[in-house]
A = this chain, B = another copy of it.
Amino acid sequence: MEHLKRLFDIDPWKLTTTTLHKDDFRLQESLTSIGNGYMGMRGNFEESYSGDHHQGTYLAGVWYPDKTRVGWWKNGYPEYFGKVINAMNFIAMDIYVNDTKIDLATQPIEDFYQELNMQDGILSRQFKITVDGLTINCRFSRFLSITTKELAVIQFKAEVLAGEGTVKVVSRLDNNVQNEDSNYDDRFWETTDAVDNDTALFVTARTIPNNFGIEQFTVTGLMENQTANDVVRSSEKSSLATAETLVFTVKQGDTIAVDKKVILVTSRDVAANEQLATAQALMDETNQQSIAELTQAHQQAWAQRWALADVVIEGDHEAQQGIRFNLFQLFSTYYGEDERLNIGPKGFTGEKYGGATYWDTEAYAVPLYLALTDSEVTKNLLKYRHNQLPQAQHNARQQGLAGALYPMVTFTGVECHNEWEITFEEIHRNGAIAYAIYNYTNYTGDTSYIKNEGLEVLVEIARFWADRVHYSKRNDRYMIHGVTGPNEYENNINNNWYTNYIATWVLKYTLENYRAFQSEATVTLEAAELTKWEDIIAKMYFPVDNELGIFVQHDTFLDKELLPTTALSASDVPLNQNWSWDRILRSCFIKQADVLQGIYFFGDQFTTEEKQRNFDFYEPMTVHESSLSPSIHAVLAAELGMEEKAVEMYQRTARLDLDNYNNDTEDGLHITSMTGSWLAIVQGFAQMKTFDEQLSFAPFLPKSWDKYAFHINYRNRQLHINIDKEWVTITLKSGDALALTIYGEEHELTDTVQIALKK
């Protein structure tokens, strides 16, 4: 597929451009998003911009239950749709040159330059503008501190190149924001009288009341606008906004600068009536350090992250930029500091999809965080689900079923999405929750979670499956009807091979662990329950086609008109933007091949021939319109020695957003699928596997690359893996010696193992 749109230059550590892409401004904003796990925002300009754009600042865990209903609400539907909401615009700094408001959408500028530095998360921009004979060079720079999560620093600097007059900066904290998808211009913020203070530049806002018993969030922003220049200040407060105006009188050769510091606290951490005091204390504390020192601390923290996680690619700058962009955005979204949070599909870069927690976390993010961060980060992701077990039980009851059903989309654990074919039917997600427990335990060797919390989760998920299957008398088999698999281009299908497989696996794995940890477990199973589970395991129906030698996606898949994606024309794709839903559903084309997803998850349970036949059957029909799809194909293609296909799939996942493959990055980045490029390199190209607690590699080097290298954290060890044109070099950077397998041969890693690259 051609590159649809590439706005930024190729650079190993940066996104840079000298073009203001007015026609693709939303895309430019998405790609320049920054975040610190606590808050984040799209690459909106500090000063007002009147052109088409998408203003978006988001606070982790701050959301709203959307009351919009449509006529065909079904029984059992959630009462509300949980929405990520746009929060206070706190970067705002309107600039007036000789009383003309600067607006890059309408005014001519020169020397535009924008840069997102992925090494330290600093977004900067400059341009030259002339108004009434006064020419200034403006520079903005901002970061969200990863050392003090409540802190944002926005710096403005202007050099006067010619002329004289005034430069006015209006620095704002503004809650007059709304969502892109608001119906009827619905707003979410109201004023509050929680605190009052005449001197501090702050604003406190609260989400408006709702009828669903969802907590109202209160947020306080406090700012200081520091400058070393002579300035005339004034300020103004309204119910939802606070502004400070700074007027500078300037002439050629002058340089003025405003350092805006913002502290943002929310009622998730601080009670409403204490927020101003807390914010003030944090402000005072950070004022002990200069802006330069604060910046340096932030940069060092990013350097530490990269030291554990960086992937180096030589010989392919596009690929290098892609993988770093993905890791940068992932860590900007989530770095495991808060077990009440999870990884939203758009992170802090957009509003689409509502909700903040999807199965993506367990299926795609867990393996990456396991390898690149401390195991506590992943454990927090697992605890998040354990904490929400009561809500998952509630979800199952809503469907009249036993056990626990983890939600498709949620903030609190209660399902908050309203599409029956997803909410009610895309229940395979429940399997991924269990799989993450297996993944964590198998990867880390730490059984404490499964014993203390995991088994409770597993048993309740198993109970759900045992109730959700039905017995088909005429087949003498258990079946699962009415599901949507990971391939969301088919809905309400029967006996989705993937769902049936993972459901059966959950029952097996739960039984196994229940028996292993029974004496220590806090759950007890009845004998009848065990017998029922065993019966289901023995008699589960799996659709297969013996002639083709494949697992069949679902009962009637092979009755379709079976065509390869090469039969599609350019005007057909992406299908979801060109075909009506019914046509997509009855076509053979696959958004994400779920049989292959199952083979990927359970890679030790299938022969190479089985993998090959299924890959050869499903891959040609897969359109990869799920951002989660290509990485899995990359991993399998690599295992099957199909290097070209693996590299093609890598490229698609690595630069999905940078090259706007799916033509929807303007809505925000595909955060959760950003793990895909890492999976493609590490589990694909390097064939790292950990089945049965055995670490193994079987690397190849893409033809156009000179080398690639990555780190992993494995069972309290830091390993560095380097693959160049000749050698596979694995170095133990810290921790005890380790037995590992390379190309099927066992090696003892004490310091470095180097063996020849297989070609």
Contacts and interface: CB of A to CB of B under 8 A. Distances in A.
Interface in A592-621: none
A748 B120 CA distance: 98
A692 to B, nearest CB: 36
Interface in A361-382: none
A207 to B, nearest CB: 17
A505 interface: no
A634 to B, nearest CB: 28
A9 interface: no
A204 to B, nearest CB: 26
Contact of A400 (B559, B577, B579): B579
Given A184-B183, A482-B586, A494 B424 contact: no
A81 B585 CA distance: 23
A418 interface: yes
A76 to B, nearest CB: 3
Interface string A542-562: 000000000000011011111
Contacts of A472: 559-561
Contacts of A77: 581
A229 interface: no
A213 interface: no
Given A399-B580, A424-B582, A482-B582, A474 B559 contact: yes
B183 A581 contact: no
A444 interface: no
A74 B186 contact: no
Interface string A75-116: 111000100000000000000000000000000000000000
A421 B70 CA distance: 15
Contacts of A420: 581-582
A212 interface: no
Contact of A70 (B68, B74, B586): B68
Contacts of A578: 75
A491 interface: yes
Contact of A556 (B67, B481, B560, B583): B481
A580 B492 contact: no
A337 interface: no
A512 interface: no
B579 A75 contact: yes
Contact of A580 (B75, B481, B558, B581): B75
A468 to B, nearest CB: 9
A65 interface: no
A419 B186 CA distance: 24
A576 interface: yes
A392 B186 CA distance: 35
A660 B473 CA distance: 37
A479 interface: yes
A492 B494 contact: no
A354 interface: yes
A181 B586 CA distance: 33
Interface in A475-496: 475, 479, 481-482, 491-492, 494
A95 B398 CA distance: 47
A71 interface: yes
A580 B424 contact: yes
Contacts of A494: 556, 559
Nearest to A547: B474
A100 to B, nearest CB: 34
Interface in A407-427: 418-422, 424-425
Contacts of A583: 399-400
Contacts of A473: 561-562
A583 B405 CA distance: 14
Interface centre among A69, A424, A492 (most CB of B within 10 A): A492
A202 B473 CA distance: 69
A337 to B, nearest CB: 29
Contact of A184 (B184, B419, B422): B184
Interface in A428-471: 470-471
Given A184-B186, A583-B400, A470 B68 contact: no
Given A69-B183, A71-B352, A492-B492, 8 more contacts: A68-B69, A70-B70, A72-B418, A424-B582, A470-B560, A472-B561, A473-B561, A474-B558
21 contacts: A68-B69, A69-B181, A70-B418, A72-B419, A75-B579, A75-B580, A77-B581, A184-B186, A398-B580, A399-B580, A399-B582, A400-B579, A420-B582, A424-B580, A472-B559, A475-B559, A481-B560, A481-B586, A482-B582, A555-B556, A555-B559
